[in-house]
């Protein structure tokens, strides 16, 4: 697997677009790096940039951006709501694919060493890149901020990991490290009070607040037997939070870093802030994301809010995202565009979903054209997607049928399974065409020498094998959809029993159509052991599908009587 890391540098400039553009231009000048997102904030006077690529390319791009930021941003004149200590305040690396956290930490150290040596900027390592646990927390390192670092850096315990022990007046100091994916998330309040926002932040953040006698703000600090302040932890694990006032919007916010969204997901953090705000006489009016977010976070949020309504969670990906955005109020301050904010969408290769993104007329026209693709394999996959979609529709209708309220979870679970099968089959619509194109590309390889002939033959065989495996997967998924369709014919909304019938006809056709492609492609393979095995397994699937079709149509016809 290709190694990919993400880098999310935070630059202390959020107002001058010319400076921001010059910094991001440095990133875009590096081959092998994709700039995913640029998110400037006027009130925080800070820009969060997200890029992804190979480790070598990302490190080069980060270095160039840090250098340019150090040249253009004068920290002696910087003011903003967000804590900061340098022109490049923090530069984390996050493992994305094919690389461990330990390897990512090593790259962070290489970047830190280069920044310290070549740019003469003090560098502190944090999180996984920092061995000293006493100084691996970003907020602990940054305490005192830019103004306080002139004295702090002189303390022996705060000697930089790289670079001079001299805080730069112009560019400040910076923090570089390796960490897990972090979601920066702000919740909006109907107040302008920073103090009240902080009270909620202390309620929810894992670090909590210092315990006091009587008045929680002015009361005497409670200490333990050793004389150390007693801490009252907050309600959310893996959450850092502070309250601040944003003049640009005229509201106070709870600014949170969700450092492990598997422990505290986005929707749980939002709801907990809502609860604490209500307890303190305030209301949450919406929220905003800073930077990017994994797709799963929004899908989980959509399902969470649907479950609270006792509604089926087996709806499309787009609908789940829409529910999440509405429920979290992510569009209160600015439009939320999923294609620009969800990391998986930004990492998709252009044209990866060319066929399934067509409208019905365009897809039919493309199929009917003189081009050999999309062919029968892609059509079989699409027929299978339509079949399971009909079964999923019946499950959703049944989940919301009046009088069946006690069964909504049962049907919701089936609808969710149907959506997953539908999405997998839709992916194979384009994948089958790509597999066919790979065969054509292999046939076009040169064959002038014996070595070229060998490479060409191996390429053809490899592509043909893959073109056999794709329709076989269509067969497997289409057969897997049939028990769901059968369940809907037997137990689903009786008014939609014919939809289940049409669904099984589609599923059976998908299996048989895909098997034709398996057979013709397997016939061109020299690996006869593989060929005979996949043909035998395909025949078994076809027979099971035909038997299931007969059984389900029998149920449908009996219900219609």
pLDDT tens across 53-83, in order? 999 999 999 999 999 999 999 999 999 888 9
Q: How far apart are CA 28 and CA 16, in angstroms?
A: 19
Which of 89, 271, 430, 432 does the annotation list as catalytic?
432
pTM tops 0.85: no
Q: What pLDDT is attached to residue 213?
A: 81
Of 124-138, 204-218, 461-475, least confident by mean pLDDT is: 204-218
Q: Model confidence over 405-418: pLDDT tens digits? A: 889 999 999 999 99
Query: Phi/psi at 394 (nearest 5 deg)?
Result: -65, -40
Angle between helices 497-522 and 376-399 in degrees, nearest 10: 150
Check pLDDT > 90 for residue 163: yes
Give SS3 for 93: strand
Give the tokens for residue 234: 């907050």
* CATH superfamily of the domain spanning 4-178: Formiminotransferase, N-terminal subdomain (3.30.990.10)
Is residue 154's pLDDT more than 90? yes
What totals of helices (H) and strands (E) does the chain contain, helices first?
A: 17, 13
Asked whether residue 205 carries a pLDDT value surpassing 90, the answer given is yes
The predicted-structure confidence for 9-57, as pLDDT tens digits, reads as follows: 999 999 999 999 999 999 999 998 999 999 998 888 999 999 999 999 9
pLDDT tens track for 374-385: 999 999 999 999
Name the catalytic one among 39, 82, 89, 499: 82
- Checking if the pLDDT of 351 tops 80, the result is no
| pLDDT given for residue 294 in this prediction | 87
Q: Which helix (H) or strand (E) holds 454?
A: helix 450-491
- Where does 55-160 have alpha helices with state H? 55-72, 101-118, 138-142, 145-152
Catalytic annotation on 82?
yes
CA–CA gap between residue 455 and residue 446 (Å, rounded): 9
Average pLDDT, integer, range 348-356: 84
Is pLDDT at 182 greater than 70 in this prediction? yes
pLDDT at 291: 84
Topology annotation, domain 360-560: 1.20.120
The pLDDT score that the predictor gives to residue 459 is 95
Cis amide linkage into residue 172, ω under 30° from 0: no
**Residue 129 DSSP code:** T
Give pLDDT, residue 373. 82
Give me the percent of the chain exceeding a pLDDT of 90.
85
What's the CATH architecture for 183-347? 2-Layer Sandwich (3.30)
409 contacts 450 by C-beta, under 8 angstroms: no
526/528 Cα distance (integer angstroms): 6
Question: Which residue spans of the chain are classified as CATH 1.20.120.680?
Answer: 360-560
Tell me, yes or no, if 432 is annotated catalytic: yes
Is the pLDDT at 152 greater than 90? The verdict is: yes
pLDDT in tens, 484-543: 999 999 999 999 999 999 999 999 999 999 999 999 999 999 999 999 999 999 999 999
**Using an 8 Å Cβ cutoff, are 321 and 302 in contact?**
yes
Q: Which one has a higher pLDDT value, 210 or 216?
A: 210
* Cα gap 559→134, rounded to integer Å: 70
Q: If you average pLDDT over every residue of the chain, what do you get?
A: 94
What pLDDT is attached to residue 410? Answer: 94
53 and 37 Cβ atoms separated by less than 8 Å: no
Does position 1 have pLDDT exceeding 60, yes or no? no
Where in the sequence of the chain do the CATH 3.30.990.10 domains occur? 4-178
Query: Which pLDDT score is estimated for 229?
Result: 85
Phi and psi of 122, rounded to 5°?
-60, 135
pLDDT for res 112? 97
In the chain, where does the domain assigned CATH 3.30.70.670 lie? 183-347
Q: Is the pLDDT reported for residue 348 higher than 90?
A: no
């Amino acid at each position: 697997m290709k190694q990919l890391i993400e880098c999310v540098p935070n630059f202390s400039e959020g107002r001058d677009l010319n400076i921001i553009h010059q910094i991001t231009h440095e990133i875009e000048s590096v081959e092998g790096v994709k700039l995913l997102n640029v998110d400037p904030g006027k009130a925080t006077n800070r820009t969060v940039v997200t890029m992804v690529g190979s480790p070598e390319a990302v490190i080069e791009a980060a270095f160039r951006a840090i250098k340019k930021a150090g040249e253009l941003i004068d920290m002696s004149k910087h003011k903003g709501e967000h804590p900061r200590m340098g022109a490049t305040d923090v530069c984390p690396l996050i493992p994305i694919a094919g690389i461990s956290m330990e390897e990512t930490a090593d790259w962070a150290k290489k970047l830190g060493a280069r920044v310290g040596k070549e740019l003469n900027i003090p560098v502190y390592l944090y999180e996984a890149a920092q061995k000293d646990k006493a100084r691996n927390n970003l907020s602990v390192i940054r305490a005192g901020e830019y103004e306080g670092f002139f004295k702090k850096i002189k303390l022996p315990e705060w000697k930089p990991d790289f670079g001079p022990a001299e805080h730069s007046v112009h560019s400040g100091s910076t923090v570089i490290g390796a960490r897990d994916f972090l979601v920066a998330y702000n919740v909006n309040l109907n107040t302008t009070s920073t103090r009240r926002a902080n009270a909620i932040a202390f309620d929810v953040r894992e670090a909590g607040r210092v315990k006091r006698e009587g008045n929680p703000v002015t009361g005497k600090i409670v200490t333990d037997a050793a004389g150390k302040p007693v801490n009252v932890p907050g309600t959310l694990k893996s959450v850092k939070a502070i309250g601040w006032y944003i003049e640009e919007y005229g509201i106070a916010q709870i600014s949170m870093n969700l450092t492990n969204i598997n422990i505290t997901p986005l929707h749980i953090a939002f709801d907990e802030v809502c609860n604490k705000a209500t307890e303190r006489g305030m209301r949450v009016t919406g929220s905003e994301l800073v930077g990017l977010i994994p797709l799963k976070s929004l899908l989980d949020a959509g399902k969470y809010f649907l479950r609270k309504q006792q509604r089926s969670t087996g709806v499309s990906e787009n609908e789940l995202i829409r529910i999440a955005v509405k429920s979290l109020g992510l569009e209160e301050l600015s439009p939320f565009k999923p294609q620009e904010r969800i990391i998986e969408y930004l990492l998709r290769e252009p044209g990866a979903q060319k066929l399934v993104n067509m409208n019905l007329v365009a897809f039919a026209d493309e199929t009917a054209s003189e081009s050999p693709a999309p062919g029968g394999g892609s059509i079989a996959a699409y027929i299978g997607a339509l079949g399971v979609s009909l079964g999923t529709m019946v499950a959703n209708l049944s989940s919301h049928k009046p009088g069946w309220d006690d069964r909504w979870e049962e049907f919701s679970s089936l609808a969710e399974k149907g959506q997953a099968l539908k999405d997998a089959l839709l992916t194979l619509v384009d994948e089958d065409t790509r597999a066919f194109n790979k065969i054509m590309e292999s046939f076009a390889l040169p064959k002038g020498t014996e070595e070229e002939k060998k490479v060409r033959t191996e390429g053809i065989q490899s592509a043909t094998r893959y073109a056999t495996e794709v329709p076989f997967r269509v067969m497997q998924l289409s057969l897997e959809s049939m028990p769901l369709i059968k369940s809907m014919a037997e137990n689903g909304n009786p008014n939609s029993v014919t939809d289940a019938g049409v669904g099984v006809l589609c599923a059976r056709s998908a299996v048989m159509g895909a098997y034709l492609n398996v057979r013709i492609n397997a016939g061109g393979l020299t690996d006869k052991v593989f060929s005979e095995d996949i043909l035998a397994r395909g025949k078994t699937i076809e027979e099971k599908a035909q038997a299931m079709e007969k059984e389900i149509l029998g149920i449908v016809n009996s219900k219609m009587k």
